[in-house]
Amino acid sequence: MLDIDAIRSDPQRVREALRAKGAGDPALVDTLLEVDEERRATITELQETQARQNDLSSEIGALKREGKDEEAQERIEDTSRLKEKIQELEDRVDDVKARQRDLLLKIPNVPHPSVPVGASEEDNEVEDTIGEKPAFDFEPAPHWELADTHDLVDFQRGAKVTGSGFPFYTGRGARLQRALLNFFLDRARDRGYKEMQPPKFINPESAEGTGQLPDKDDLMYRIPRDDFFPIPTGEVPMTNFHRDEILDVDDLPLKYCAYSPCWRREAGSYGTDVRGLNRLHEFDKVELVQIVHPDDSYRALDALLDDAESALDALGLPYRRLLMCTGDMGFTQAKKYDLEVWSAGQEKWLEVSSVSTFEAFQARRMQIRYRPEPEARTRLVHTLNGSGLAFPRVLAALLENNQTADGRIRLPDPLREYVGFDWIE
């Protein structure tokens, strides 16, 4: 959520952000400012009415002391009428504050000046490509064929038991999932992250805090009876861990990592984009979250990006780093990078991580603050997160990029101690 004072002082900047992100009608800013003006005018009227009531109370006491009971009674009647008006004004203030908050929740974060302006993924900037694409003297198979051949993933039975996008991992496929979990978590801990195991369900306040509500309401599963959401990403419970708290400045930065299953209703595109492990409704990943001093936000973004990339480097997977444009970066982000791994069997790039800073956007919703010094006013922290990494497409790339002509799959050295075998054959 943006600061209303900042919107009031530079509304054009926010209108431009709405246009650049394609996140709504820029006229929403004008509506917000009108409501804000109504709020301030109503509060002023309330304060003036309360002051008049206080003055009347003083007059009543003085008149009674002077024996002017008739005049005092008139003032008492005036006070009674003012009391009714104050109650009316207080209700109006509550109403207009609620309307203003609803409008603020619909306004996206403002992109950092370094973010390229663009309308779609075609306008994202490839900053770097790391590693060499594997070369084959045979036609490499896509991961769904390899998974079927080696009994690693069962898509059909997953669809039978739950639905499309909910696969079974079986045998060595299940062991690979467990290996990736431990491998990614160990790397994160070695790089200074505190491991946690967050809840797998969240309440609406938590979803609103990180920006899933109202922006992504239709992409989340919901349990109406309890008003819970299965988490769409570990970012939500992990960042809300400090909701409504004032942190010690000496404790910043806070760095957390966690394994989390994720549930998303998004169907994505059609055809090969959703085949196999490319896009699932339930998937696993290790999430990295940082809560930092505002002055350190963009240094932390670079470090978080390096943390995510290091896992791909260790696995020997070729990947590229994309700086996302305004129209493809999301509602809540101020700046966002995507990491895409090369899929040899499909000859395409697959996203395996998004790394973002939200500046104070999430912290303002959640009221996560710190106090610079003992008697100082509190300030909002900055929040960041990144996938370190998402499992399905990493597994797809591992299978496709490391296959051999005789149908075997060689595992990268760092995974062998976790999984307990060198080859899938």
Residue pair 264/243 in contact (Cβ under 8 Å)? The answer is no
* Other CB atoms within 10 Å distance of the CB of residue 222: 14
409 CB-near residues (< 8 Å, 6+ apart): 146, 150, 398, 399, 402, 403, 423, 424, 425
In this structure, is the dihedral angle defined by the CA atoms of residues 194, 199, 203 and 207, taken in order, positive or negative?
positive
For the segment 117-167, what is each residue's pLDDT rounded down to a tens digit?
999 999 999 999 999 999 999 999 999 999 999 999 999 999 999 999 999
Q: Does residue 56 come out as left (phi exceeding 0), alpha (psi in the -120 to 50 range) or beta?
A: alpha
pLDDT of residue 200: 97
- Matching residue, tokens 């003006």: 37
Residue pair 53/89 in contact (Cβ under 8 Å)? The answer is no
Which residues belong to the active site? Answer: 264, 279, 351, 354, 393
If DSSP codes are grouped into helix, strand and coil, which group holds residue 333? coil
For the segment 212-231, what is each residue's pLDDT rounded down to a tens digit?
999 889 999 999 999 999 99
Half-sphere exposure of 132 (CA within 13 A, CB side): 3
Residue 72 has pLDDT above 80, yes or no: no
**Token pair listed for 30:** 């004008």
Burial 351-388 (b: 16+ CB within 10 A, else e): bbbbbbbbbbbbbbbbebbbeeeeeeeeebbbbbbbbb
Rounded to whole angstroms, the Cα distance separating 90 from 104 reads 21
If one compares 354 and 375, the residue with the highest pLDDT of the two is: 354
pLDDT of residue 346: 96
pLDDT of residue 348: 96
Return the domain boundaries, the chain.
4-104, 121-424
Rounded to whole angstroms, the Cα distance separating 257 from 192 reads 9
* Topology at the third CATH level for domain 121-424: BirA Bifunctional Protein; domain 2 (3.30.930)
- Matching residue, tokens 């064929």: 145
pLDDT of residue 269: 47
Q: Which is it for strands 246-248 and 369-371: parallel, antiparallel or unpaired?
A: parallel
Residue pair 388/375 in contact (Cβ under 8 Å)? The answer is no
DSSP count for the chain of H helices, then E strands: 13, 17
Q: What's the CATH number for 4-104?
A: 1.10.287.40
Q: What percent of the chain has pLDDT over 90?
A: 86
Residue pair 212/335 in contact (Cβ under 8 Å)? The answer is no
The answer, as to whether pTM is greater than 0.85, is yes
136 CB-near residues (< 8 Å, 6+ apart): 344, 403, 405
Q: Bridge-partner residues for 153, per DSSP?
A: 169
**Residue 99 DSSP symbol:** H
260 CB-near residues (< 8 Å, 6+ apart): 198, 200, 231, 233, 234, 237, 284, 285, 286, 287
Residue 59 has pLDDT above 80, yes or no: no
**Token pair listed for 87:** 């109650």
For the segment 170-204, what is each residue's pLDDT rounded down to a tens digit?
999 999 999 999 999 999 999 999 999 999 999 99
Q: What percent of the chain has pLDDT over 70?
A: 97
For the segment 243-284, what is each residue's pLDDT rounded down to a tens digit?
999 999 999 999 999 999 999 997 554 555 789 999 999 999
For the segment 79-106, what is each residue's pLDDT rounded down to a tens digit?
778 888 899 999 999 999 999 999 999 9
Per CATH, 4-104 and 121-424 having the same topology is answered: no
pLDDT of residue 182: 98
Average pLDDT taken over every residue of the chain:
94
Tell me how far CA of residue 326 lies from CA of 16, 93, 134, 322, 354, in angstroms.
11, 35, 32, 12, 14
**Token pair listed for 62:** 């003085």
Q: Does residue 68 come out as left (phi exceeding 0), alpha (psi in the -120 to 50 range) or beta?
A: beta
